């Protein structure tokens, strides 16, 4: 009996190999259309959104989007993100402090500003992919789509605990 079980055991209880051992990744939080960037801007650098949500900043409700940028230094990341907003009609302020950049559409008030901070990670090695973080302090965005993906915090990066 034991010999029969041993001879037949390779045919029972084993999963079919699929050669697909990686989990499905959620879509890019900004590409879903759920909570778009102001003015229809899109980021033209390699990045990952880490979190996105509405918080109180200096007494006003603002949207804060935190991400990581890849492959470039902080100066290039700052320049690219600023250019991404100027491409859709925003103008950079001459006095951005305490931010690295402040952008505003002509005629819009301070509540519509886009405020940007970029910080390079310390101790980077030459082959490090993720090079730093960026934070966009934005006007609050309304949900722009009722697509199923917009209800998934893994896709929107809008976590309930924030």
Domain boundaries, the chain: 34-156
Q: pLDDT tens digit string along 103-120?
A: 999 999 888 999 999 999
Model-wide pTM > 0.85 = no
pLDDT tens-digit series, residues 23-69: 777 889 999 999 999 999 999 999 999 999 999 988 999 999 999 99
Torsion of CA 115, 136, 77, 89, to 10 degrees: -60
Structure confidence at residue 113 (pLDDT): 94
* Residue where the block lists tokens 């759920």: 34
What order do you get walking across the sheet with 91-92 strand by strand?
A: 47-57, 60-70, 130-138, 114-120, 101-104, 91-92
């Amino acid at each position: 009996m034991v010999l029969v079980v041993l001879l037949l055991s390779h045919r029972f209880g084993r999963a079919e190999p699929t050669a697909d051992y990686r989990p499905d990744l959620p879509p890019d939080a900004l590409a879903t259309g759920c909570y778009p960037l102001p003015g229809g801007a899109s980021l033209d650098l390699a990045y990952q959104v880490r979190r996105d949500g509405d918080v109180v900043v200096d007494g006003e409700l603002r949207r804060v989007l935190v991400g990581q940028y890849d492959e470039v230094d902080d100066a290039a990341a700052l320049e690219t993100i600023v250019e991404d907003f100027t491409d859709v009609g925003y103008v950079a302020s001459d006095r951005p402090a305490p931010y690295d950049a402040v952008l505003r559409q002509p005629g819009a008030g301070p509540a519509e500003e886009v405020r940007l901070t970029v910080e390079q990670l310390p101790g980077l090695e030459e082959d490090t992919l993720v090079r730093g973080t960026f934070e966009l302090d934005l006007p609050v965005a309304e949900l722009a789509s009722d697509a199923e993906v917009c209800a998934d915090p893994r896709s929107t990066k809008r976590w309930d605990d924030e």
